[in-house]
Amino acid sequence: MGLVARYDCHLEADSWTHASSVLNRLNDSGRSGAVLVQSSDDPSSQSCFVNTLAQLPKAFGVVRLRGAITERQVDELGAAGVCGIRLDCSASRDPWQHYDRIAWLTEGLPATWHVELSLTWAQLPALAPLLARERQIFSLLLSGDPSPDTTAEERTLRWWLDMGNVYLKLIGARSTGPRLTALAEVASYSTDRIVLGADGADLVPFAWPLSDLHRIAVFADNNAERLYGFTPSRTKHH
């Protein structure tokens, strides 16, 4: 399989990730840009992450926060190319706990930033109605497998995507079995809300065995430009 999408929207990065290696992989793969996602919320890790990101004209970043963001942090992170924050909500099943935490952490976020949420399929029916009417833009990364009867979960996901304030991030390397089947069906239905990520250090072609993958990839590139700020000429906005 050749090059499928221009942008790789998920490349996990830590303190050992070097800008030169990321840039070389981007150039070798022919992709126009990538989204680096901070893998740890350790303050020292974030400092290294931001330093790496600032050296990459072809990348935007998503960081983890331990507390509400300050204006100074917004300015410093934004200047490096950060355009969103990442929250892991998969540890607890209490939707109100997650809702309150999201509201606290997102207070003061620029309107152009988004929130990447890591959720389980089982959390969708409770959390989606709370978040779908927020002005905040979300990017959804689903973990685990859907329940044996996926009808309710898929219906909720499609409804939330139709509401227009959430994108679904598909990471090919992590999707197998029932999860792949469910996500593939949703992807074909909601092409205007999909972004693609390889999640591989070598930025390999996307591992989605979909008959319409190339069609979805065209939409995904356009979606990535809206969500992250990519442009065909690929310069960061300061």
Determine the pLDDT at residue 203. Answer: 42
| Residue ranges in 124-212 assigned as alpha helix (H) | 124-131, 151-163, 177-189
Amino acid at the residue 15? S
Please state, rounded to an integer, the average pLDDT across all residues of the chain.
82
Domain residue ranges in the chain: 7-228
- Paired tokens of 86: 């990442």
Residue 30 has pLDDT above 90, yes or no: no
Q: What is the pLDDT of residue 238?
A: 45
Mean pLDDT computed over 116-122: 90
Amino acid at 185: E
Predicted local confidence at residue 232, as pLDDT: 58
Residues 183/193, Cβ–Cβ less than 8 Å:
no
Quote the pTM value: 0.88
Say which CATH architecture domain 7-228 belongs to.
Alpha-Beta Barrel (3.20)
